[in-house]
Each structure stands twice: as structure tokens, then as C-alpha cells.
């Protein structure tokens, strides 16, 4: 799972959440990662394929948030290496500073990329009441479909907070494929977990992730983080995280 693919000329979107830069991958590192994938005979598939028949060398490349650099930096490299990506868009931010507009999104689609939803306003869905959750899920899909003339079948649940109710409501909103940070037990074959690529990763760490592994220290930190998430809940955890990231 990617977010921003950045260059020295890339403007940082004004509406980014605190800490988004932790997931910025430079275009140089992105190229190196695609080169590694190509060299090791990986190939991309899309949700249009029978995903029950994944092979060990098949993968999905996904991009969350819809930043402008996804079109200006990521797309040319994907085309160069013959890979396809899934791009999940925050409906409310389309056309805002640093984010793709309809022209760029249509270009992605014309180049064979898959367009999906990342919610209407990037809210933590587990913080919301049921009517608000339905609006976040449904309004974003309808907005994209109305402006693009496409069937939007997939959603990436925003901000890494998800539970069984969110999965059920996403299905009720018309999504066939649901992408999350970590898959819930019993979520079903239509739900896909992902690994977030970070700005600090070396090519060796990237290769380790592709082999389904991670350093012990990182596993411990992730386990602790997930435990704190469950204890505090979405709103409190997000506040604590933002405060910690502001400490220099």
C-alpha cells in the first residue's frame, strides 16, 4: 500500500493528516522497488481477475488518498514497468491543492488503472454514528460514479480503523471489494489486508515485506500499536498519535 510518491518538486497537500510524510516514498525509491519486483518476476493483478486464484508471484499495488503525485510521479513509472495500480480517492479532496482533479483521475482510468473510494472525507469511520458511516461510504461511491461514468466496486477503509460493522456496511453500500490495513477474522474473501510501504524502508526491507516478513522490533511495535488502538479507540488514539508526532 502506497500513499504519496514524492519528488523535490512535489507540493505537499494542505489537507494532509499529521504524520502522512511517514508514508511518502520518493520517486527514486519507488523506481527501485518496481525494478526489484520486475527482476523477481512479480506481476500485478486487479480486482477484475478471479482473486481466489492468486499465485505467489501475483500482487495488488494500491495507492491511498489521491495525491497529485500519484498521476505525475507514480503513473509514468507504473507504465514503464508494465504494472497496474488501484487508486483510492478521498471524494471531498478531489481537485484540492496537491490532490488529483477529474482530468488526472480520468487519465489514470484511460491508462488501465483501477479507481476506488477512500471515503468521502477521510474520517475514522469507527468514530461515527451509523447514518454518518453510511453517508461516508455511499456518498463517495456515488460521487465518483456520477463524475467518471464508472462502476466503483472497491473501497479502502480510511485511517486503519475498521471492525465487523464497517465491513458489513461497506457491502451494504454496494462495494464488492474492501481493502483494509489488517484483515479481521472471518471478514471474507472480498476483504484484503495490505502492507503500508514507509518512507524509511530500504530495498532490503521492501524485499522482506514482499516475502511476508518483518523485523522483530517492527513486529513488536505494530503489536503494541494495535493494542493501544483497541484500548483507546479511534478518536483518542488519533489524538495521542498527532501529539506524539508534533514532539521534536
Q: Label residue 7 by pLDDT band (50, 70, 90).
A: very high
| Separation of alpha carbons 85 and 82, rounded Å | 10
Mean pLDDT value across residues 38-46: 93
Q: Label residue 49 by pLDDT band (50, 70, 90).
A: low
Do 31 and 82 sit in the same domain of this protein? yes
Do 177 and 232 sit in the same domain of this protein? no
Do 208 and 130 sit in the same domain of this protein? yes
Q: Which residues, in sequence order, are CB contacts of 219 under 8 Å at separation 6+?
A: none
Do 110 and 50 sit in the same domain of this protein? yes
Do 19 and 115 sit in the same domain of this protein? yes
Mean pLDDT value across residues 14-22: 87
- For the record, the C-alpha cell of 175 comes out as 462495494
Judge whether residue 199 has pLDDT over 60.
Answer: yes
Neighbours of 246 (CB within 10 A): 9
Cβ burial 51-68 (10 Å sphere, 16+ → b, else e) = eeeeeeeeebbbbbbbbb
The rounded mean pLDDT for the chain is: 89
Do 105 and 154 sit in the same domain of this protein? yes
Do 161 and 240 sit in the same domain of this protein? no
**What is the count of structural domains for the chain?**
2
Do 192 and 225 sit in the same domain of this protein? no
Do 78 and 178 sit in the same domain of this protein? yes
Do 238 and 142 sit in the same domain of this protein? no
Residue (of 54, 55, 2, 5) closest to 28 by Cα position: 5
Q: Between residues 57 and 114, which one has the greater pLDDT?
A: 114
CATH number, domain with residue 198:
3.20.20.370
Supply the pTM of this predicted model: 0.90
Q: What angle do CA 241, 246, 248 make, to 5 degrees?
A: 125
Burial (CB < 10 A; 0-12, 13-18, 19+), residue 23, is middle
Containing structural domain, residue 116? 5-213
Judge whether residue 158 has pLDDT over 90.
Answer: yes
pLDDT at 46: 86
Amino acid at each position: 500500500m502506497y500513499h504519496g510518491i514524492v519528488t523535490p518538486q512535489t507540493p505537499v497537500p494542505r489537507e494532509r493528516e499529521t504524520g502522512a510524510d511517514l508514508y511518502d516514498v520518493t520517486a527514486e525509491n519507488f523506481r527501485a522497488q518496481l525494478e526489484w519486483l520486475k527482476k523477481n518476476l512479480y506481476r500485478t493483478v486487479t480486482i477484475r481477475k478471479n482473486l481466489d486464484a492468486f499465485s505467489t508471484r501475483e500482487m495488488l499495488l494500491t495507492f491511498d488518498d489521491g495525491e497529485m503525485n500519484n498521476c505525475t510521479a507514480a503513473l509514468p513509472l507504473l507504465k514503464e514497468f508494465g504494472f497496474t495500480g488501484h487508486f483510492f480517492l478521498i471524494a471531498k479532496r478531489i481537485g484540492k491543492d496537491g490532490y488529483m482533479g477529474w482530468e488526472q483521475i480520468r487519465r489514470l482510468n484511460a491508462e488501465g488503472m483501477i479507481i476506488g473510494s477512500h471515503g468521502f472525507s477521510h474520517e475514522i469511520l469507527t468514530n461515527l454514528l451509523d447514518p454518518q458511516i453510511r453517508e461516508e461510504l455511499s456518498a463517495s461511491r456515488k460521487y465518483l460514479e456520477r463524475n467518471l461514468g464508472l462502476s466503483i466496486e472497491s473501497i479502502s477503509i480510511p485511517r486503519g480503523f475498521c471492525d465487523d460493522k464497517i465491513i458489513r456496511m461497506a457491502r451494504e453500500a454496494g462495494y464488492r471489494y474492501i481493502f483494509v490495513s489488517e484483515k479481521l477474522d472471518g471478514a471474507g474473501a472480498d476483504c484484503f489486508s495490505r502492507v503500508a510501504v514507509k518512507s524509511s524502508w530500504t530495498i532490503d526491507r521492501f524485499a522482506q515485506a514482499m516475502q511476508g516478513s518483518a523485523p522483530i522490533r517492527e513486529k513488536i511495535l505494530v503489536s503494541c500499536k494495535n493494542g493501544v488502538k483497541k484500548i483507546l479507540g479511534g478518536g483518542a488514539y488519533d489524538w495521542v498519535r498527532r501529539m506524539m508526532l508534533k514532539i521534536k
